[in-house]
Structure 1
Amino acid sequence: MDTQKEDMEGLWSLLSWLASCVIVFGGSLPYVPQYQEIQRSSNTEGFSTRVCLLLLIANILRIFFWFGKQFELPLLLQSVVMIITMLAMLQLCCNIQQANRVSTKQHHFTDLDLRYFWSWSSFGDYLLFCFAFTVICALVTLLLLDSVLFVEALGSLAVLFEAMLGLPQLLQNFHNHSTRGMSVKMVLLWTTGDVFKTAYFWINDSPSQFWVCGAVQIFIDVAILVQVLHYGQDLWVKLG
C-alpha cells in the first residue's frame, strides 16, 4: 500500500514538473517556426511587432508584480523566457527591415516622436525603450510596494495586456469579414493552450489576476473560432 502511494506521489510530481515546463516554455514555442519562416523568407509582413510590445510590457509588469505578491516560480520564469523571445523576434525583424530599407531616413527612440513610436530604425532603440520602461517600473514599485492596492493594480494591468493579445485579431476579422490564413486547427490549438494555462492557474491557486486573464483569453479564442467557422461557411456558400 505504501509502495503504491509512493508511486502515485512520484507520478504526480512528474506530471507537475512537466506542467511547469509547459508553462515556462509553452508560450514561446509558437514563435520558433515564425522566427524560422521570417529568417527563411526575409519578409516580416506576416508578423506585427506590436505583439512584441504588448508581451514585453505585460511580462515586465508581471515580474514586478512578483515582488509584491510572490506567485509560482514557473510563472516568473515564463515571463523571463517570453521577454527573451520577444527581443529575439524584434532583433530579427530589425535586421531584415534594415536590409530591405530603401529610405535612408532614420527614426530613433530618443527623437521622442510619437508618430514613429515602435517603428524605430534599430534594435538598440527597442532595447533602450525596454530599459527605460523597466527603470520607471522599478522606481514606482519601490516607492509603492507596501500598498496592497498598487500591487493588485499592477498585477491586473500586467495580465490585461496579455489578455487583450487576441483582441486585434478578433476586430480585424470582424472588419474584413474574413479569416483568411486562419484555420480551425490553429484556433483550437490556441484555445487548448489557454485552457491548460488557466487550469494550471486554478489548480496552483495562483493570484486571481492570472485565471481571470486566462478566462478572457479563452473567451476571445472561442469568439475567433466562431468567426473562422462562420466566415468559412460563407466562403463555401459562395463557392457553391
Structure 2
Amino acid sequence: MNFLVLIVQKVAPIFLVTSPLTSYADQIRNIHITKSSRGFSLDTPLIMLVASILRCFYWIGSRFETSLLLQSLIMILVQGVLLKVALDHRSTGDERVPFAGVVYPTKRPFNFWQWRPQRPYWEFLAYFFVITAILQLFFGSSEFFVGLLGYCALGVEAGLPIPQVLANQKARSCKGFRLSVLVSWLIGDIMKTVFFYSSDHVGMQFRLCAGIQFALDAYLGFQFWMFGNGELAKDFEMS
C-alpha cells in the first residue's frame, strides 16, 4: 500500500499538470470538427475558469503544491480555448446573427452566461479577475480570507459536473459530451484523492473537493450507461 501511495505521489503531480490538456483536448477537437457545441454545457468552462482564477489567488496566501498552481494556470488557457470554440459553434437559427436561434430552457438574472454576443463572456471574466485581485490586495494577509478563498475556489470546482449532469438528464442523452472527458475526470479523481490525502502540503479544501467530484463524476458514468450517446430530446436546447 505504501508503495502504491509512493507511486501516486510521484506520478500525480505530472498527471495533474497535464490533466487540463488530456481532459479537454478531445472535447475541443470534437466541437471544432462537428462545428457544433450542442449538448455541451457552457457552464463547464465558466466553472473551471472561475475556480482556477480563485485557486491561483488562493495559492498566494496558502502556498500549496506548485503542481496544483501550474494545473490552474494551464486550465485557464485550455478553458479559454474551449469557451471560444464552443461559442463559435453554438447553434443558431440565422447564421447572419450570432446565437439568434438559441433558446434557453430557463432564464437567469441579467441573462447571465446566456448572452448572445461573445463579448460579455470575456468582459465578465476580466471583471472577475480584477475584482478578485483587488480583494487579494486588501485582504490577502487575512487567514480567514485566504481560507474562504480556498473553499470558494474548490467548492466551485467540486460542482463542475452538475451542469452536465442536469443537461444529460434533461436531454435523456449524453450526446455532445465526450466519454474521454469523463474517463479523464474519473482517473483524475482517483489520483487526486490519493495524492491529496497523502500529501502534507494540501489543505482540507482539496480533499473535500476531490470526494464530492468523484461522487458526481461517478453519477455521470451512470448516465453514460443509462442514456448512451443517443439522440437528444427534441425539446432540448443547451445554453
If the length of structure 1 is used for normalisation, what is the TM-score?
A: 0.75
Aligned mates of 2:117, 2:166 — CA distance in 1? 30
Pair 1:96-2:89 in alignment: yes
Aligned mates of 1:130, 1:184 — CA distance in 2? 28
Aligned mates of 1:94, 1:188 — CA distance in 2? 24
The equivalent residue for 1:59 is 52
Shift of 1:171: 4.1
The equivalent residue for 1:195 is 190
Aligned mates of 1:28, 1:158 — CA distance in 2? 20
SS at match of 2:144: helix
Aligned mates of 1:28, 1:223 — CA distance in 2? 23
Pair 1:145-2:140 in alignment: yes
Mean CA deviation greater in 158-167 or 186-195: 186-195
Is the Cα–Cα contact under 8 Å of residues 98 and 121 in structure 1 kept in the other structure?
Answer: no
The equivalent residue for 2:231 is none
Shift of 1:228: 5.3
Larger RCO, structures 1/2 (Cα 8 Å, 6+ apart)? 2
Of the three residues 58, 61, 70, the one matched with 2:63 is 70
In structure 2, give the amino acid aligned to 1:42.
Answer: K
Mean CA deviation greater in 180-189 or 218-227: 180-189
Mean CA deviation greater in 85-94 or 73-82: 85-94
Select the structure that is richer in helix: 1
In structure 2, give the amino acid aligned to 1:34.
Answer: Q
Shift of 1:187: 5.3
Mean CA deviation greater in 44-53 or 67-76: 44-53
Is the Cα–Cα contact under 8 Å of residues 196 and 206 in structure 2 kept in the other structure?
Answer: yes
The equivalent residue for 1:213 is 209
Change (3 A) 1:123 1:74: farther
Aligned mates of 1:172, 1:90 — CA distance in 2? 17
**Which has the greater radius of gyration?**
1
Aligned mates of 2:218, 2:115 — CA distance in 1? 35
Aligned mates of 2:14, 2:87 — CA distance in 1? 30
Aligned mates of 1:90, 1:38 — CA distance in 2? 11
The equivalent residue for 2:74 is 81
Is the Cα–Cα contact under 8 Å of residues 94 and 122 in structure 1 kept in the other structure?
Answer: no
If the length of structure 2 is used for normalisation, what is the TM-score?
A: 0.75
The equivalent residue for 2:19 is 26
Shift of 1:94: 3.0
The equivalent residue for 2:199 is 204
How many percent of aligned residue pairs carry the same amino acid? 29
In structure 1, give the amino acid aligned to 2:57.
Answer: F
Structure 2 gaps of 5+ residues are 101-107, 228-239
Change (3 A) 1:47 1:150: same
Is the Cα–Cα contact under 8 Å of residues 54 and 165 in structure 1 kept in the other structure?
Answer: yes
Deviations 1:171-197 (A, max 9, x none): 455566x45548999756533320111
Change (3 A) 1:184 1:124: closer
**Aligned Cα RMSD in Å?**
3.5
